[in-house]
Structure 1
Amino acid sequence: MSATAGQAQSERSLAERLGFKPDQVVQEIGYDDDVDEGLRESIETVTGAELVDEDYEEVADTVLLWWREEDGDLFDALSDTLALLADGGVVWLLTPKAGRDGHVEPSDIDEAASSAGMTQSKSVSAADEWSGTKLVPPKGR
């Protein structure tokens, strides 16, 4: 296996581990120069499409929300994502890991998600510097 093929396989595995699938529309919010490019590329590899940005006007299967403590009110941001999701869609909230600049306490995530009516269904190490929390919106919203 070539290095490129091995890299593509590991990229595919990362996004697949997070539940991304071919042909999904993934809207990215909160992009900045600190995001994990490997994770972004792995999602694009699996879905077969580029991530759409904050200006995308259709609904998305997944919202990828990069969030740092200084970004403002997490409840407001999560509430806003509900309108962006297709039925059955999810939000992947990505926050800096503990000890990193911009870290968000898990209790703050839980409080904001619960207040927005979302349920945490999975927490993972999404990248070297980022933790991921999968949030599911309320059914029948």
Structure 2
Amino acid sequence: MSATAGQAADGVRSLADRFGIEPGMVVMEMGYDDDVDQDLRDVLTDRCGELVDEDTDEVVDAVLVWYRDGDGDLFELLVDALGPLADNGVVWLLTPKAGRDGHVEPSEVAESAQTAGLQQTSTISAGRDWSGARLVLRRGAKAKK
């Protein structure tokens, strides 16, 4: 059993609260692959229902972006995440923790987020191998919708 699965009743369940995910929210997921933290996904889908993919026509309350070094241009991915995002929505950028394959330097996250019109408000441990950066629109940054 993984450390994350062992914490499912306590620590990971509270992640749904720390992610701000509520029942009825529409949550889009980008960058899914076989290395994502399935326990975290399960906790979030238990809270809000199925995650929608990037082809959705819905306005979404939150976007989960799984991103690893080498996945392409982070700035472009964040801009794509903003398309369906509600004005008061949040982007959770999930990246491998330091020392894990695909780790992304915090400076790259900060630079890409700022260029995309986002600001980082917090960082959390999002599982055994993943960190989550909470990104929100800077005031006045979403005039392009």
- For residue 10 of structure 1, report the CA deviation from its aligned partner: 5.2
Q: Is the Cα contact below 8 Å between 1:125 and 1:132 reproduced in 2?
A: yes
- The alignment yields a C-alpha RMSD, in angstroms, of 1.6
- How do 1:21-100 and structure 2 match up within 5 A? 21-47=22-48, 49-100=49-100
- For residue 12 of structure 1, report the CA deviation from its aligned partner: 3.1
What is the aligned partner in structure 1 of residue 118 from structure 2?
118
**Displaced runs of 4+ in structure 1, greater than 2 A?**
6-12
- For residue 138 of structure 1, report the CA deviation from its aligned partner: 2.8
The amino acid of 1:138's aligned partner reads R
The amino acid of 2:29's aligned partner reads E
TM superposition score normalised by structure 2: 0.87
SS in 1 for 2:16: helix
Q: Is residue 17 of structure 1 aligned with residue 15 of structure 2?
A: no
TM superposition score normalised by structure 1: 0.89
Count of residues in Structure 1 that have an aligned counterpart in Structure 2 = 135
- Structure 1, gaps ≥5 residues long: 1-5
SS in 2 for 1:19: coil
Identity %: 56
